[in-house]
Amino acid sequence: MFNQGKFRLIATAVLAAILFSVFTIFVFSDASPTVSARGAALFSPDTNTFLYEKNGDTRMPMASTTKIMTALLAAEIGDLSQRIKIPREATGIEGSSLYLCEGEVLSLEELLYGLMLRSANDAATAIALALCGSVSAFAEKMNEKAEALGLSDTHFDNPHGLDSENHFTTAKDLARLGAAAIENETVRRIASTYKITIGEGESRRLIVNHNKLLHSYEGSIGLKTGFTKKCGRCLVGAAERDGVTLVSTTLSAPDDWDDHKRMLDYGFSRLTCYARLAPEQFQKEIAVLGGKESTVTVKNSEGFSLVEEAGLAEVKMQVRLNPTAAAPISKGDVLGQILYLREGRLLGSVSLYAAEDIPALQKKKRGFWPF
């Protein structure tokens, strides 16, 4: 016999379980990740905000994540094609090494690959000596760059990260350094390389990147590993998905690979890229009135990106560009705009410029018949 009361009780219990599950997902889906690191940070360069931190402002040693600054500084002040003869002072450096030999010659670019992929301390020393004459002089340049980037809790004593009392950073400073590094095309290219052969003849070496995130995390673009007994395992990661870029850092992390995956997953769940325009992505020809050419190319020189919290209303792009323009036109003249709007509210704009000069047609002079 059908028991209506029992059925209602079961139905109520099932409904309560479903509602509890939905409530749990809604409330706790935004829960911060659990990380093993003593210090950690997750930074969004797009929004200039930290999405997560754990002891983010605590000064700690950084091991070979130091080499991010070494690479960035070298890429900015050095010539990648410069041939560097390895001095005795750059050989036999303890820790990770390319096992450089005195007198062998490598380019700065090759040494940078050794620095970032193999984490070679001898390569770091050779770079410092070649560019600044001494390790201490190069360290001064590193500190000047740190100050310029606003890294107020960072100090460098050397270009490789071997233990030193006055060599430290914080998880948040390191994340900002990582963000600056991936803005540099050379550093980004080298740090995201999985393996490469450098040198020639007896100096030829195959080097493989120590960063496991490159082949284990979708969208990974680097950045640098580090380890000493004093520092523990250190790691700076960076990844990009669907227009969103994130930089993750851990200092003294027993489970660093999983720490970074959890932080990055969390970050990508939090943010969405609502609009993205690369420099010179928009190009269109419009008619020219009274010009020596019948059309002019119009394009954007600046890019645009809008990354915000996920779940907001969509952003619409509106192009404001007249179908014609009157000559004369000078290269760089603003001829239109691209507007980005959400529910009628302007969020940003990009100017559209003339890509070339279009002189006006010269009017023909009227001739006169003699009487």
Rounded distance between C-alpha atoms, residue 208 and residue 197, angstroms: 9
Report the first-to-last Cα separation within the chain, whole angstroms. 125
* Known catalytic residue at 21: no
Q: Could you tell me whether strands 345-354 and 304-309 are parallel, antiparallel, or unpaired per DSSP bridges?
A: unpaired
Q: Tell me whether residue 220 is one of the annotated catalytic residues.
A: no
Which residue of the set 44, 64, 97, 220 is catalytic?
Answer: 64
- Nearest 5°: the CA angle 231, 233, 237 is 120
Residue 96 buriedness (CB in 10 A; 0-12 / 13-18 / 19+): buried
Active-site residue among 44, 54, 67, 141? Answer: 67
The secondary structure of 127-165 as a DSSP string is HHHHHHSSHHHHHHHHHHHHHHTT-TT-B-S-SS----T
- From 44, 96, 119, 248, the catalytic residue: 119
Extended strands (E) in 252-315: 271-277, 283-289, 295-299, 304-309
Listed in sequence order, the DSSP H helices in 207-304 are 213-216, 256-270
Q: What is the DSSP letter of 236?
A: E
3-state SS assignment for residue 246 = strand
67 has catalytic annotation: yes
Phi, psi of 250 (to 5 degrees): -135, 140
Distances (CA, A) of 272 to 27, 239, 249, 275: 20, 14, 21, 9
- Active-site amino acid positions: 64, 67, 119
